[in-house]
Amino acid sequence: MKKLTFSIVITLFLTFIFTSYSHAANYELAILSILEERYVQLKEENQRQREEILKLYNQLSPKAAEKIPVLLYHHLLKEEEMKAYGWENNDSVISVEAFSEQMKYLYDNGYYTATLDELWDFLNENKTLPEKTVVITFDDGYLSNAVYAYPIMKEYGFKGVIFMRGGATIYPQKPFDPKGLQSISLEENYKYEDVFEYGCHTYDLHRKDIKDVALLVSSSKEEILEDLSKNKKLFNTDYIAYPFGKYNDSTLEYLKELGYKMGFTIKRGYVSKNSDKLQLPRFIIDPTINMDKFKKILQ
């Protein structure tokens, strides 16, 4: 008898545990779906606001954009960090102070920072952009973009693009350390989505072979297709920036095959409606670009 009572008690207890567990699970699912719905709503609201802002910019602008400068940044460090850790003579690093001054100039002078979708619409004559339009891009996906560029750009309501090396993003995010280079991780990149969108900088072809030829050029068709298709899916993007600015006719073929729509080089120049969409020029903003040169690019 005792044994029976015991098993009844145990059964009741287990039933209680299971039902409350599944209640908890259901509750969590309900919360998740509410949050997801809210996320979609906010995104739509944001998009509507963005369209309103663009409309206003266009109304205030005396002319429509004919040529658009696309700026290219890499890594950022504070001046003192550059000095302390020997980054001063690296032309891929610019100081946070210089970056901040450049962003302030764009803001004070009423520049509109276009997204890549907007640039695509501009190229296809589906969207008018104001004369003072600029596209801000970063290559490689360094954590310094999130630590230093993100808060400055957010303050000004700017948008930018980070072209990501997918293979560098799959590890847990390390804390920022100015002595070395850390990448923005796949797990954390959603935190910066109100400022940054993510493009492709290859998954694992941001390297050169023993003959110093970029892997995006020297690898086999299969390898390139696999790499580019993997990164396209990872970041849900139709846009790529070529590592080291290197590509050839085959690369362009593969990109078309995979549905990539725009490709960014490191050739200096403005993007206009006549530009080849898979060979768009950019202006590298390195430490030699002082404010005078910066303003000239924007003219």
| Contacts to Zn ion by CB under 5 A | 139-140, 243
Question: CB 151 → Zn ion: shortest distance, Å?
Answer: 23
d(C-alpha 295, C-alpha 261), whole Å: 29
* Angle CA 66–280–44, to nearest 5: 75
Question: CB 118 → Zn ion: shortest distance, Å?
Answer: 23
Cβ(229)–Cβ(258) below 8 Å: yes
Question: CB 206 → Zn ion: shortest distance, Å?
Answer: 6
For residue 103, which of 78, 71, 62 has the smallest C-alpha distance? Answer: 71
Provide the pairing of β-strand 93-95 with 112-113: unpaired
**Identity (one letter) of the amino acid at 227?**
D
139 or 227: CB nearest Zn ion? 139
140 or 197: CB nearest Zn ion? 140
Question: Coil, strand or helix: which one is 67?
Answer: strand
Question: CB 49 → Zn ion: shortest distance, Å?
Answer: 32
d(C-alpha 55, C-alpha 52), whole Å: 5
Per the listing, tokens 């990109």 go with: 255
Q: In this chain, which residue has its C-beta nearest to Zn ion?
A: 139
118 or 139: CB nearest Zn ion? 139
58 or 137: CB nearest Zn ion? 137
Cβ(215)–Cβ(203) below 8 Å: no
243 or 263: CB nearest Zn ion? 243
133 or 219: CB nearest Zn ion? 219
Question: CB 146 → Zn ion: shortest distance, Å?
Answer: 17
Query: What are the φ/ψ torsions at residue 71 (nearest 5 degrees)?
Result: -90, 140
d(C-alpha 94, C-alpha 75), whole Å: 7
98 or 241: CB nearest Zn ion? 241
Question: CB 34 → Zn ion: shortest distance, Å?
Answer: 40
Looking at residue 175, what DSSP letter applies? P
Cβ(187)–Cβ(146) below 8 Å: no
Question: CB 282 → Zn ion: shortest distance, Å?
Answer: 12
139 or 197: CB nearest Zn ion? 139
Question: CB 201 → Zn ion: shortest distance, Å?
Answer: 6
Determine which helix (DSSP H) or strand (DSSP E) holds 113, and give its type and residue range: strand 112-113
Token pair for 9: 């008690």
Q: What is the dihedral angle through the alpha carbons of 294, 241, 76, 291, rounded to the nearest 10 degrees?
A: 0
